[in-house]
Amino acid sequence: MVQAKTWVLVKYFDGFPKNSDFELKVEELPEPKDGEVLLETVFLSVDPYMRPFSKFRMKEGDVMIGGQVAKVIQSKNPAFPVGSHVVGRHGWRTHTVCDGSQLEPVLADWPQDLPLSLALGAIGMPGLTALYGIEEVLGLKKGETLLVNAASGAVGSVVGQIAKIKGCKVVGSAGSEAKVAFLKELGFDEVFNYKTVGSLEDALRKASPEGYDCFFENVGGYFSSVAIEQMKEFGRIAVCGSISVYNDSTPQTGPYPQFNMNMKQLKMEGFMQSRWEYKHQESLKRLMAWVREGKIKYRETVTKGFENMPAAFMGMLRGENIGKAVIAV
């Protein structure tokens, strides 16, 4: 009989998450039946979406939602042989018994020298988000100027690098000097620390005096209001996320974007990467090729130990990660 450790959401978050919102529990798992597998989690992901989704996709007492890379350790499903690795969405747990319906095998021919945790990052959901935001939503063209915020994170760091592959000027903002240095290493053209610039407005204007064709929006709130004023006419905005409001108990209020959107004739579209699920496999292969060619570089902030998942999650929400935040179980 295998025991699974799980992290449960005891109580809906109220404001910024705290340790007492989570509880570590142990579950006895049944033997896998025909068609099922037993998985042992190798890497777990902590992502910003878990904060807002906890409210409308979960009940109090549920295991925290989330994705993992896991190894098949028992199999009664020939599609998932023992020893193979899969990406699943079973939440914060060390072991899982499931049928194969929600599992994706890790890309075939995964190179020995690439960590499997990238299947949760640059060659996984965040990488796909960057790619779809740029190609499907923004339709970014060579020679254009793109702005991305939360630029040193899992999504933002890939956004900037894909925009460079496409021959664009890239401006990124991030919340520490170490993050700024990382973005320069990645080849971003202009980078600034939004926490220390005296004026966000001046920093954006200095980075691109002629304004922005495209804005890949990860943050929302005040940053968004200031950036929208500096879009070029007919600029496009892909709303990927709004992490600056996820922990608010009371909604932030204006300034509101309609005036600038109207005067500059802007286009703003929100999106979820799952809209293009039908092309994930082909897209993951493109991301893998860019990583292998060195055109997409990656950084990970790895927390060791399943016990430290809540700390890693809260740390990511506080901005402690550079690149993708993952947990090595």
Where does this chain bind ligand NAP (CB under 6 A)? 47-49, 126, 129, 150, 152-156, 174-176, 179, 218-219, 240-244, 271-273, 316-317, 319, 321, 325
CA distances from 111 to 14, 73, 251, 310 (A): 42, 21, 45, 31
Q: How far is the CB of 226 from ligand NAP (least distance, A)?
A: 12
- Asked if 5 and 24 touch (Cβ cutoff 8 Å), the reply is yes
* First vs last C-alpha separation in the chain: 20
Which CB, 74 or 176, lies closer to ligand NAP? Answer: 176
Give the orientation angle of helix 125-132 with respect to helix 280-292, to 10 degrees. 100
Of the two residues 38 and 128, which places its CB atom closer to ligand NAP in the complex? 128
For ligand NAP, give the closer residue by CB, 84 or 244: 244
Give whichever of 110 and 271 is closer to ligand NAP, judged by the CB atom. Answer: 271
Both tokens of residue 191?
């980078």
Minimum distance of ligand NAP from residue 241's CB (angstroms):
2
Quick check: 165 and 290 in contact, CB under 8 A?
yes
Name the residue nearer to ligand NAP (CB basis): 94 or 129: 129
The distance of closest approach from Cβ of residue 39 to ligand NAP in the complex, given in angstroms and rounded to an integer, is 23
Handedness of CA 68, 245, 283, 158 (dihedral sign): negative
We find the least distance from the C-beta atom of residue 169 to ligand NAP, in angstroms, to be 20
| Residues 225 and 202: beta-carbon distance below 8 Å | no
Query: Shortest gap between Cβ of 182 and ligand NAP (angstroms)?
Result: 10
Report the C-alpha gap between 192 and 150 in whole angstroms: 11
CB closer to ligand NAP, 63 vs 128: 128
Q: Minimum CB separation from ligand NAP for residue 317, in Å?
A: 6
> What is the rounded distance in angstroms from the CA atom of residue 163 to the CA atom of residue 133?
11
- Nearest CB to ligand NAP, comparing residues 84 and 176: 176
Of the pair 167, 221, the CB lying nearest ligand NAP is at 221
Q: How far is the CB of 87 from ligand NAP (least distance, A)?
A: 15
What is the smallest separation between the CB atom of 243 and ligand NAP, expressed in angstroms? 4
Q: Where are the alpha helices (DSSP H) in 62-199?
A: 125-132, 154-165, 177-185
Find all residues with CB under 8 Å of 326, minimum gap 6, and list them: 43, 44, 45, 46, 117, 120, 121, 300, 301, 302, 303
Under a CB-based contact definition with an 8 Å cutoff, are residues 38 and 96 in contact? yes
160 burial via Cβ count (<10 Å: 0-12, 13-18, 19+): buried
The CA angle 248-253-259, to the nearest 5 degrees, is 140
